[in-house]
Amino acid sequence: MLAYTYREPGKFVLEEKKKPELQNLQDAIVKVTLASICSSDIHIKHGAVPRAVPGITIGHEMVGIVEKVGSEVTSVKPGDRVTVNVETFCGECFFCENGYVNNCTDENGGWALGCRIDGGQAEYVRVPYADQGLNRIADSVTNEEALFVGDVLATGFWAAKISEIGHQDTVVILGGGPTGICTLLCVMLKNPKSIILCEVDPDRIAFVKEHYPDVLVVNPKEVDVENFVREHSEHGGADRVLEVAGSPQTFELAWKLARPNAIVTVVALYEEAQSLPLPRMYGKNLIFKTGGVDGCDCDEILRLIEEKKIDTTPLITHEFPLQEIEKAYEILENRKEKVIKVAIRCI
């Protein structure tokens, strides 16, 4: 089968590999119908994910059809249409039982697919702990509608959930890329008083303005964002800040835009260390929540999609067959043609 493979930093190649087989009783083999490319894949390409193992198939965002299951798998059966979770988790350890599935203590716990074990920019993928890693897609939900459930949308959902957003809150979202927009969609479900989205890319600004006209969009290259947020919030800054962009500038903005005692949720994956200037922040008493998605709400997300409360299909701006995945990366890495997300057809 064809599989897009991480060879060494800077180099991904589309190559022939053996079709994966079941290795454990809890595994499933999924025929990938539609996959996507995540910015984390590009981080791997740049060598910024030290855990990534050369030789593995890239890809951790996909939907497919279950082809085979191990004898201990009970939640899905061959023929089911499913979303694949970015995270592998056993469902039984201390962290899993508390919903912190990103920290599952299994040797493949957390983000393993397309990083430490073979992922899904391929024709088939082996999914460990299939009862946890796969969620069935309702008949009325299309593959396109479900494509982002296991990763970017799960991340946005988790970010909104842990930010403890109330109806009186002014929420700032830093970053209007795919994860930023998924975060925005999930923040909108919380009905905060106002949402301010901060983005510099004119195409992304236009996309957000076109699709979500109630959101205030600011470009820090044109506007003094600190002033803007102060003027558009009641207590001298945002009640909640969600940092989804991942640059040193946005990391700094995140704590600067927050009012005292605000929650700052940092979900971005940075390519370098960031500094927390604690002397300057002293007395602001901020609550920081950081890290990688606990992707255990996929059934709820799928239900929200079924009820038409979340629609991420406008994010799919490009579609390519697996054979042309190179071109998809080229467009995405260089942000050509107003790209937001690409869908890769694997069959």
Question: Which residues of the chain form contacts with Zn ion (CB under 5 A)?
Answer: 38, 40, 89-90, 93, 96, 104, 151
DSSP state of 285: -
CB of 106 to Zn ion, least distance (A): 5
* Short-list 186, 151, 182, 180, CA closest to 165: 186
Q: Where are the alpha helices (DSSP H) in 46-171?
A: 94-97, 130-133, 143-146, 152-162
For residue 216, give the H/E element and its range: strand 216-218
CB of 329 to Zn ion, least distance (A): 14
Q: Where are the alpha helices (DSSP H) in the chain?
A: 39-45, 94-97, 130-133, 143-146, 152-162, 178-188, 202-211, 225-231, 248-257, 278-281, 298-306, 325-333
Nearer to Zn ion, 29 or 293 (CB): 293
CB of 38 to Zn ion, least distance (A): 3
Residues contacting 245, CB < 8 A, separation 6+: 174, 175, 177, 180, 198, 199, 268
CB of 11 to Zn ion, least distance (A): 20
Token pair of 251, please?
């990391």
Say how far residue 144 (Cα) sits from the centre of its chain. 15
CB of 22 to Zn ion, least distance (A): 20
* Short-list 240, 282, 278, CA closest to 259: 240
CB of 269 to Zn ion, least distance (A): 8
Return the percent helix, strand and coil in the chain, to nearest 5: 30, 25, 45
